Structure 1
């Protein structure tokens, strides 16, 4: 028998080994690890829940995707697999991902002045879209929450003076630095981007654009994204997704913007999202800002906000413990929803235990 007859089944076997798993209506499932590592993860993420005082770690959902397969899922409190959970500032990274589709359609470049798409910023003609993605608009913004509401720009924007037109409210702030030179975390910057997107994609397409551009291609069917009274998406805060649907966005980013056979987001957009902002100063925040995502590395390679996670880890993070972690080197996507009110939750601790549970077997 010719040796060529043996090549065909071997090639087919090789192709089956390399085939990627992608979710359809449901996620393909894989085996959940057992033993002490999973117990340690659950002991941290799901301690006895105090719903009376709202103290301590209060995880609503924890879901793990490994190499495209759902390998762990647990819910608590009122949250279930069918609950579209408020993502808070994960919305910012979702907005950046929607922008990635528009970028692939060649509708803008990062060096474009924001005023080109949002004229109320005409007095800041040197402010670019890239500056907003780095939370470096230079506007004098105070991102304080319920702990200091009287001086909080974001509380005023979301709930009082600015709630009718959040971008216009943000644009009225004075400057504290030239654009692009200093990091200052700002939900206002995100809502300026949301307003600019309206002119980038066109007013007619805008109300449906997050769905037609991103959610529907990923198979996300039940997302909600609130707008302010002007019809602008609250890009800073008010997107709602189930944990399984948010994991689809994580898998898209883990696989460099590709969904199945389609390059939904250009690779260079994903690279921009994961590139540290050059003017970020260590110690300003728990994680390093990228392009509206948070990174586990800075311009200084020794800067590791989450030392027990791989350097390529990046995340979308939100108020009260919301998190979407993406770890390309371990082929992991982790969704964690929570209702933490006292700041006791630590990203590094959960990532350390998740790596021990799910990535240990992948180590050489």
Structure 2
């Protein structure tokens, strides 16, 4: 099976059908059954790294796959009684903004499901000051910036991509557990999974970017995926329950995308964590197609033309 994957992927790379492919890791059950590493230019949260020869120990930007890790961390903090339940009012969790106290109707769950109904636009490139996430990361107070956005629709009805929602969750975790988000991640999730190396970019205020700042190796991202497959924690079931429909056939749970038989984390540039419980399968793809409309193509080709055919065979 690994040889089938190796030959199939080599042909895809040779013919240019997976440009800027940096890494692939596939696990089946407890076994690492395939991995691939490429070479090419890369950036770390918009900072150029030059040409990188990727390998098993090379950290890579996860971009918005970070959000799915934060979804897991929220559950761990909730299990310890450190953060409010998703049904709790959101603005009450930020009493330092008394001028916003009159806003009601929003819950923590609306942040978890990106259904806040607040004005937010990440359609501009992530190098542009027109992008709401970039404005948030350069703001003197990220939480105020998000919470004071105008309301444009009824909460809970429409999914609107919002890194600000993830930032609020990161803030709730950090203040609840009493340590920075990255420190809680290290002790509560990474170290128990055997993950020892990571980086987490910070915004202008010095706070870890819960929406997009995490860097891990593909192997360690796969460890997180396997944890999702194997854990019997009640939060995992809640997290992977569809709470809102994005489009036909695609739902969203608590910071995770959901299909009929899979769950996933997606990140700018083609970063993917794909978990398929029925097959015991985890696929991780890292790529350098940042801000490009075809960024998802490499992961789709890897999954549909390399991994799944080999398993079926």
Q: TM-score range by the shorter chain?
A: 0.7 to 0.9
Partner of 2:301: 349
Task: Indicate how the Cα distance of structure 1 residues 150 and 212 shifts in structure 2: closer, same or farther if over 3 A, else same.
Answer: closer
Query: Is 1:165 aligned with 2:141?
Result: yes
- The answer to whether the 8 Å contact 1:136/1:179 transfers is yes
- The answer to whether the 8 Å contact 1:118/1:199 transfers is no
The 10-residue stretch of structure 1 (101-110 or 242-251) with the greater mean CA deviation from structure 2: 101-110
- The answer to whether the 8 Å contact 1:117/1:200 transfers is no
Equivalent residue in structure 1 for 2:242, among 262, 276, 289: 276
Alignment map for 1:53-68 (pairs within 5 Å) = 57-68=19-30
Partner of 1:195: 171
* Structure 1 residues 113-164: Cα deviation after superposition (integer angstroms, max 9, x where no partner): 2223323353433211111011011111001232894642123223x4x2x4
- Paired with 2:14 and 2:212, the residues of 1 have a C-alpha distance of 27
CA deviation after TM superposition for structure 1 residue 233, in Å? 2.2
Partner of 2:104: 125
- Paired with 1:148 and 1:91, the residues of 2 have a C-alpha distance of 18
Paired positions, count: 292
CA deviation after TM superposition for structure 1 residue 171, in Å? 1.8
* Structure 1 residues 71-128: Cα deviation after superposition (integer angstroms, max 9, x where no partner): 1111011222111111000000011111111122233311112223323353433211
- SS of equivalent residue, structure 1 residue 320: coil
Query: Is 1:245 aligned with 2:195?
Result: no
- SS of equivalent residue, structure 2 residue 149: coil
Partner of 1:288: 251
Query: Is 1:232 aligned with 2:207?
Result: yes
- SS of equivalent residue, structure 1 residue 251: helix
Structure 1: 5+ residue stretches without partners? 1-31, 50-54, 259-265, 297-310
- SS of equivalent residue, structure 1 residue 275: coil
After TM superposition, which residue ranges in structure 1, 4 or more long, deviate above 6 angstroms? none
- Paired with 1:145 and 1:246, the residues of 2 have a C-alpha distance of 27
Partner of 2:91: 115
Q: TM-score, normalised by structure 1?
A: 0.74
Task: Indicate how the Cα distance of structure 1 residues 147 and 194 shifts in structure 2: closer, same or farther if over 3 A, else same.
Answer: closer
- SS of equivalent residue, structure 1 residue 73: strand
- Paired with 1:168 and 1:157, the residues of 2 have a C-alpha distance of 9
- SS of equivalent residue, structure 2 residue 3: coil
Q: Name the larger-Rg structure.
A: 1
